A and B are shown apart, each in its own frame.
Chain A
Amino acid sequence: MEFENNIAPVLELNNLYKSFGENHVLNGFNLKLYKGENLVVMGKSGSGKSVMIKCLVGLMQADRGSIKIKDHDITKLGQKELDILRTEIGFLFQGSALYDSMTVRENLEFPLRRHKKQLGLNDHTETLVLEALNNVGLAHAIDLMPAELSGGMQRRVALARALILKPKIILYDEPTTGLDPITAKEIIQLMRSIQDTYNTSSLIITHDVDCARVISNRMILLVDGINYAEGTYEELIVSNDPKVQAFFKN
């Protein structure tokens, strides 16, 4: 595959296990994300996609397995090192997760507070906020509260917030969920243009086939906690496997 011929993966999950009591969500899941790649992970609701992505940024502890981001095994990192590594990762949450007591400006400034010294961004807060908002076409909404924005606008602000530290890897947790088809398409286009502008690697968790078709370079189907099938959209859509076909039928 085109990206595999590149260098080492920027993100790698090996043999990941996660259970909640008797519910075994991940049963040895593997994943490699290469530089500049858009990798889509698809799975049914409750199949463990969000759990996987939360393990990836250290919001949840995996029971077993290794998670490597740029050669750092995050399961072995201390809190300080993990926080530094997180500056290289942008995370778009399923429900946008904007801080509802803060304005759009404060939402975007929030990730900068802790890291701007370390990244040498001391005097550029306003410029960075405006740049990120311009990239998502919402500079005019800078002083609005999240409650004053539509669902699509909130998602775009959340995307701007994920981009503010200019991360190398962006994780999208169901970026089009809860949006109407037109707004969903706008978000997908925005994700593509961001990928072009920032040359990021993206891991996209979704069950939206249209989103996967448009944006993916490669796809992994997560079934029963393992990578059940892997390939490009075109390869998977012609598969005869009934479990694979179930994703594309509708």
Chain B
Amino acid sequence: MGREKTFVDNLKVFFAEVGDISYFTARFFRELFKPPFEFKELLHQCFNMGNRSLLLVGVTGFILGLVFTLQSRPTLMEFGAESWMPSMVSIAIVREIGPVIIALICAGRIGSGIGAELGSMRVTEQIDAMEVSGTNPFKFLVVTRIVATTLMLPLLIIIGDAIALLGSALVENLKGEVSYLLYFNEVFNAITYGDIIPATIKSFFFRICNRLDRLL
């Protein structure tokens, strides 16, 4: 009996959450296209989020490229396939690993920051003050942040991928005596716009989903 009740309760909570997410998403898209638009705040948030995450994304990307190459190198050497290293690393990083890792890093870094900031604003009545002064807090605080992070993540991913490839090139240069020019020639032979564009578009959706989830 108790088990059944717990299951029903959980089901209710689940559907309530689905309802909340749907309502929140619908409200986001409704407010997104309704004037007045908060361009100044959007630019401020873009700068804030892009700029503040740059160091973390750079360090993570560099370590990712470095470690990935270091760990893959012995295996490829066993098969005499170390010349495939630049293409393997670049395709793996640009297509999948880069977007996923950087999206996760940004989710933690930016998401927790936004959660703490908005929580503190709620407790100290700043959101109420905003509403009383005729500003829609959802539009000013939530929509701008979702749009800013959605726009900034693809840029951060491109920068992160580039730094990861630099880390990989450094290992290849030190261990395999491959010149940077040769390494990046191989990289650009291996990857095409068909690799970069879907990954960037994918990151766009990672970001919207992640933002909605964090802000709920």
Q: Contact residues of A with B, CB < 8 Å?
A: 54, 57, 59, 83-84, 86-87, 89, 91, 93-95, 97-101, 110-111, 113-115, 161
Contact = CB atoms under 8 A, between A and B. Distances in A.
Nearest to A79: B136
Interface stretch (B79-87, B91-99, B121-129, B147-155): B121-129
Contacts of A111: 133-134
Contacts of A97: 124-126, 128-129
B125 A93 contact: yes
Contacts of B126: 97-100
A94 B124 CA distance: 9
A59 B131 contact: yes
A94 B135 CA distance: 20
Per DSSP, chain B at the interface is helix
B125 A95 contact: yes
Contacts of A98: 126, 129
Contacts of A101: 117
Contacts of A59: 128, 131-132
Contacts of B131: 59
27 contacts: A54-B128, A57-B132, A59-B128, A59-B132, A84-B134, A86-B133, A86-B134, A87-B134, A91-B132, A93-B125, A93-B128, A95-B125, A97-B125, A97-B128, A97-B129, A98-B126, A98-B129, A99-B121, A99-B126, A99-B129, A99-B130, A100-B124, A100-B126, A111-B133, A113-B135, A114-B36, A115-B134
Contacts of A114: 36, 133-135
Report the contact-size class of chain B (Cβ under 8 Å from the partner).
Answer: 10 to 19
A94 B133 CA distance: 16
Nearest to A92: B129
B41 to A, nearest CB: 10
B134 A83 contact: yes
Nearest to A102: B126
Contacts of B121: 99
B146 to A, nearest CB: 18
Nearest to B120: A100
Interface in B100-146: 117, 120-121, 124-126, 128-135
A190 B192 CA distance: 68
A91 B134 contact: no
Nearest to A87: B134
Nearest to A59: B128
A57 B125 CA distance: 14
Nearest to A85: B134
A28 B123 CA distance: 28
B135 A91 contact: no
Given A57-B132, A93-B129, A99-B130, 14 more contacts: A54-B128, A84-B134, A86-B132, A86-B133, A91-B132, A97-B125, A97-B128, A99-B121, A99-B126, A100-B120, A100-B126, A101-B117, A110-B130, A161-B129
